[in-house]
Amino acid sequence: MLPASIKDDFPILRREVRGRPLRYLDNAATTQKPKAVLDTLQRFYAEENANVHRGVHHLSERATLAYDAARERVRRYLNAELAEEIVFVRGTTEAVNLIAATLGRSMVKADDEVLITALEHHSNLVPWQLLCQEKGAQLKVLPINDRGELVLDTLDALLTPRTRLFALTHVSNALGTVTPVRELIQRAHAHGVPVVVDGAQAVAHTKVDVRALDADFYAFSGHKVYGPTGIGAVYGKRARWEALPPYQSGGDMIADVSFEETTFAPMPAKFEAGTPNIAGAIGLAAALDYVEGVGLEAIAAHEHALLEQGLSLLGALPGLRLVGTPAERAGVISFVLEGIHPHDVGTLLDGAGVAVRAGHHCAQPLMTRFGLPGTVRASLGLYNTEADLLALRDGLIEARRFFG
């Protein structure tokens, strides 16, 4: 287990909520930021702020060096081969939309098929749904069982000669299910189908090696890995990027412009129109430094121990039903309390200083699969402790008493 003192690295965790110590268990929605990230953002704006790739003055040179170093930092974190294979975006949602608008529009035609899974966040569902509607294609879904695991026996039947893309999550935000992403990629590639992976819920909890996975594209959001909001990155194989048209147009993604035609900059600039989130990228690099400084193996072990403890504590409560019991799961506990709406549970827990998420978690089809309007979700991060889980349990006991 990681030391409880690691909370001291996160200033917000020292505050109180409703007169109680803050017990933050909403990490799947967004993580808190360590002082190292906050200091990096403050230092950039106070000492180095300038636009990148356009200036010859000192501040612009400094900002450009830091921004380019952030791209290299993401490359190392994902073990991509080339820094140019990393494109900065606002987050996973923009990454999926980018790929749907470029790769999707160039590959998918009428009567084709796009495959997703029943675990997907709306961000890895709706862009493909819209693409299929635009093209007259069909969206197909790899189902799950009652435990919240993918039914792999159906995959080969779903991968047909008309399948053009397979988009899947690495880790479910709603249930914590860890998908066998390497196997899924291998099986899709055997059919000649490229794979887009939503890694938003994975990168803060496990080592991701995009070359070992052989993912065609892999996206994540900075704010899920202790970095700033409004920044993320998407890895793509060089050959894939080079074959794609631009996503947006404007400054910094062009090589030459005339009134007759425009030629575009090489990757990754080709996909980064306009002034980027410079501070966000630099802050993201600081977050990745922090995570690897703590150690991903140590983080995974810590969160797994807390997950087992939390499942034991909550599983013993009368009237509480766990939703999703996959054999391999990340630090997410999704549940309902009999007779109490999840939003009411979340509100009562907030009164005890416990922050959880309540609702459909942007995964409404998944909730429908379980016949629920939503769940209460407690999600773990590297700074969580046994005391947080005990506060959650005690808050649920009080919620049950409140509703009789």
Both tokens assigned to 257: 């412009």
| Phi, psi (degrees; rounded to nearest 5) at 18 | 55, 35
Token pair 């209460």 is found at 376
| Phi, psi (degrees; rounded to nearest 5) at 193 | -105, 125
In whole angstroms, give the CA distance from residue 261 to residue 84: 25
In whole angstroms, give the CA distance from residue 242 to residue 358: 42
Residue 132 catalytic?
no
Strand partners, 166: 115, 195
In whole angstroms, give the CA distance from residue 344 to residue 29: 19
Strand partners, 23: 354
Both tokens assigned to 141: 């879904």
Helix (H, G, I), strand (E, B) or coil at 41: helix
The DSSP 8-state label assigned to residue 265 in this structure reads P
Compute the chain's Rg from CA coordinates: 22
Residue 46 one-letter amino acid: A
The DSSP 8-state label assigned to residue 225 in this structure reads G
Question: Read out DSSP for 145-190?
Answer: -TTS-B-GGGHHHH--TTEEEEEEESB-TTT-BBP-HHHHHHHHHH
Helix (H, G, I), strand (E, B) or coil at 249: coil
Which entry of 29, 83, 296, 362 is annotated as an active-site residue?
362
Instruction: Tell me the HSE value of 271 on the side-chain side, using a 13 A CA sphere.
Output: 28
Enumerate the H helices of 208-360 as residue ranges: 210-213, 238-242, 278-294, 296-315, 342-351
Both tokens assigned to 326: 């996959």
Task: Give catalytic residue positions.
Answer: 362
